[in-house]
Amino acid sequence: MDLVVKSTSPDKTKTNVLAIPVFDGSPLTEQAKLIDELSGNAISQALKLGECKGSAGSATLISPVNNLKAQRLIVFGLGKKGATTPGNFRNAIGKVISIAKGTQAKDLAISLDDAEVTERDHHWQTRQIAEVAAAQCYTFNQYKSKDNQKKVSLSKVMVLVSTGPNNKLAQSGAKVGNALANGMDLTRDLGNLPGNVCHPTYLAKEAQKLAKTSPKLSVKIIEEKEMKSMGMGALLSVSAGSKQPAKLIIMEYKGGKRGDQPHVIVGKGITFDTGGISLKPGAGMDQMKFDMGGAASIFGTMKTIVELQPAMNVVGVVTSAENMPSGEATRPGDIVKTMSGLTVEILNTDAEGRLVLCDALTYVEKFKPASVIDVATLTGAVLVALGTHGSAVIGNNDEVIENIKASADYTGDKTWQLPMWEEHHKQLESPYADMANIGGRDAGTITAACFLSKFTDKYPWAHLDIAGIAWYTGGPLKGATGRPVPLLTDYLLKHAEG
């Protein structure tokens, strides 16, 4: 799906579908009034008859329409003038895209001159249109027979904004939005691939493929032999039961000055999680191919960064393994030594994400990072706390956390900060090792972060538990969401801007 910004007036735009905003209880906007007059009062009549409304998040198809170069017209509502929330806008755009798709339209034009969103400019509006359109037009059907492959006809979205400052904002928003759409599509693709295809070696090859797209991106793959020599006993304990070797994937983007401290993003990449010896229940286990959602979001973010070429240094790290039961698998009660030298008593092999992450978090000390964010589908407990509506954020640095929360508010990738008290740390105490890998049922999301925090003393760090938002669990929408690529990208770009 391609998004472009044009300064053409909506009445002169040749398109399959034209979308015009209206406000609830207010007179028609200038653009809507123009289209209404040309079309023989199509909009005002539809409003009068109650066929369409200006209520927040609404959208209505008016077809056919006369005297327009557009074949069809969609009127979308932004609620009360001056009170349109970002969520209202996204919902309205989502309905516009859905209706346009339903008409089998090949292109769509959305007029934004009169669109107003509280505390959001035309850069943000255009960026959101790109994200929403890409999400609605995304398909993953390469494993269906050709006869069953469904294709979306909508391939182009035009954002109409008159020349001037708002047009420049829209142009910049389109640039970021298109890059985000591409990054999120990669994240969705990797997440949706089956575990027999997308394993650690596959991810390593994907990183090498991405490196070929830019001279500013380099990739290093650390194999198990080198992991062993570096003392990564925690990571290796997870891959021990699988025939698939673990991979530590390092993607370095060098767009800043030499010597500038990089911002590091680390993703959990368990390409399939059976739970190991602590075997998961069979029902729903197919969804454990999504347990590399954190890694997939790192790939998507790095792809976005490579496309946008910001003046900064970024390191993307994916710590990937497959968690399988076998005669060589790690057992509950085993004790392993991490790269940091700390020892861990493994009480549950299904708490494996923190084991692959902890060695990666020690490894990234070498970069002397300005900040580190790890992203992981780490705990089912986060679903109990926040549902499927947002991610938990926990860390050791208030500035990093506040910046994440600001980006979350801007992008719509909701987060909620959880505490990390001394009492939580005590839940990880072990009589046999420096710590256990679980802290019991209570505060599971927090104790998982407490575990990771023990490996992050040397830099500012935050942890995002995305188990609730990385994928949809069932129905026709089942699949990877592409989140939180917008949040991570926004966090990084804000640092590039200074």
Cα–Cα distances in Å, from 282 out to 42, 195, 275, 288? 55, 16, 11, 11
Total Cβ atoms within 10 A of residue 106 = 14
Told to judge if 144 belongs to the known catalytic residues of this protein, a careful annotator would answer no
Give the distance from CA 209 to its chain's centroid.
Answer: 21
Query: Residue 224 corresponds to which tokens in the numbers above?
Result: 């198990």
Query: Residue 230 corresponds to which tokens in the numbers above?
Result: 């570096």
Residues in a beta bridge with 268: 319
- The Cα–Cα gap between 103 and 137 comes to 13
List the catalytic residue out of 95, 354, 454, 483: 354
DSSP string, 388-451: TS-EEEEES-HHHHHHHHHHHHHHS--EEE----HHHHHTT--SSSSEES---STTHHHHHHHH
Angle (CA) 72-78-83 rounded to 5° is 165
Q: Residue 472: enclosing H or E segment and its boundaries?
A: strand 471-472
Query: Residue 74 corresponds to which tokens in the numbers above?
Result: 């969609």
List the catalytic residue out of 280, 337, 478, 494: 280
Told to judge if 268 belongs to the known catalytic residues of this protein, a careful annotator would answer no
DSSP secondary structure letter of residue 287: G
Give the distance from CA 310 to its chain's centroid.
Answer: 19
Determine the residue type at 256.
Answer: G
Query: Residue 431 corresponds to which tokens in the numbers above?
Result: 């009589």
Positions marked active-site: 280, 354
